Amino acid sequence: MIIRVLAILSVFVVSAPAFGQVLSEDYRRLLAEAAATQGDAGFAETVDLIARVSPGGAPAVLNALAEIAPDRLTLAENRFIAADIVVAQQMVDLQPQPVDEEIAVAERDDGNGFLPMLDAWSGRLSAGLRVDSGNSDQQDYSLGLEIERELAEWGFQGGIDYAYSEANGLTSRDQLRIDARGEREIGERWSLFLAGEYDQDQLSSYDYTTFVGAGVGYRPALPESLDWVLRAGPGIRFVSPVTGDAESQFAIDLESSFEWQVTDTSRFAAETTFLIAESTRAEQTFTFITALNEVWAVEAAWHYRHEFDPLPGFEEGDSRFDISIVREF
């Protein structure tokens, strides 16, 4: 036991003059990778080794872990503590440093371009009331699910939107929409994407439509509170009319996705889509979201769809207004 205590004390004696130093960037990256990929035993050996060879010693390792992987801090402290030696008291109160988002992402990266699951993915569930006008004038109940993975070389965004209502005991609305997009960075502001959608609504001109396409995206330089993505690319639109034969059409997909963080608790979004084909379609959505707390929010959205060549008996435009309670995760 005495030998063990002396060995651990030697780590701090050697590194004592460096208590105020910050762990170098190379060691921070190594520490972040170990925290993300190693089990407890392997991680304990890694922090022990870094503490012995780095200029800052064990206190610098603990300071770095407090920022990078606070859930592994206790494990590292236990590795350094022997008998009545309290390592935590030797940690330095460093002044908070500005966080570089690119470095923060790199520190969470597992080396293959994938971020840890809980950090990288987010989503939202919504339930509410929908008011339609156009080809149908009625109120529907709606459910929605959206998931998203932030870009760290690649990202993903997908959603399911479902509306249902009854009139006089009969189903008057049974609408389903599914969309998904995978995207990969190819530069500071450019990306490549592959997207697809499925839309089923028998109260419109078509029983269902699908679209699959690929293209390029561009993100203009804007203030931190604003985010704007422009996308364009070719694809195939498949339409199944209420009457007549189904057919496929070559299409050009043009999209604009804009977000404005108005305040800490409110956000505005505008989505514009033009699907240029033999049966051209345009869509516009405006959404305003107000957070009630960290996970719950109220969302109000207005959506308009315009089919430029509807079937006889159908109107060109459909609009709807949604008010929903949202659970974010």
Q: What is the pLDDT of residues 201-240, one digit of tens each?
A: 766 667 889 999 999 999 999 998 999 999 999 999 998 8
Rounded to 5°, the CA angle 79-81-83 comes to: 135
pLDDT tier, 94 (very low <50, low <70, confident <90, very high otherwise): very low
Structure tokens given for 100: 């570089």
Distances in Å between the Cα of 198 and the Cα atoms of 28, 98, 160, 175 are: 45, 43, 10, 11
302 has which bridge partners?
A: 286, 321
Tell me the pLDDT tens digit for each residue of 14-61. 333 333 457 788 788 888 888 888 878 778 888 888 888 777 778 888
- How far apart CA 132 and CA 31 sit, in angstroms, is 54
Task: DSSP for 66-131, please give it.
Answer: HHH-GGGHHHHHHHH--TT--GGGG---PPP----HHHHHHHH--SSS---HHHHEEEEEEEEEEE
Q: Is 141 helix (H, G, I), strand (E, B) or coil?
A: strand
pLDDT at 95 over 50: no
pLDDT of residue 245: 83
pLDDT of residue 298: 95
Name the DSSP class of 310.
P
Q: How many helices (H) and strands (E) does the chain have?
A: 7, 12
Contact 47, 39 (CB under 8 A): no
pLDDT of residue 172: 66
Give the mean model confidence (pLDDT) for residues 268-277.
95
pLDDT at 165 over 80: no
Structure tokens given for 19: 């208590």
pLDDT of residue 184: 93
What is the share, in percent, of the chain residues with pLDDT greater than 90?
32
Confidence (pTM): 0.61
Start-end of H helices in the chain: 2-15, 25-37, 40-53, 57-68, 73-80, 101-108, 117-120
pLDDT of residue 274: 95
pLDDT of residue 83: 31
67 has which bridge partners?
A: none
Tell me the pLDDT tens digit for each residue of 114-152. 444 455 678 888 888 878 776 666 677 888 888 888 766
- How far apart CA 206 and CA 59 sit, in angstroms, is 66
Give the mean model confidence (pLDDT) for residues 290-309.
91
pLDDT of residue 46: 84
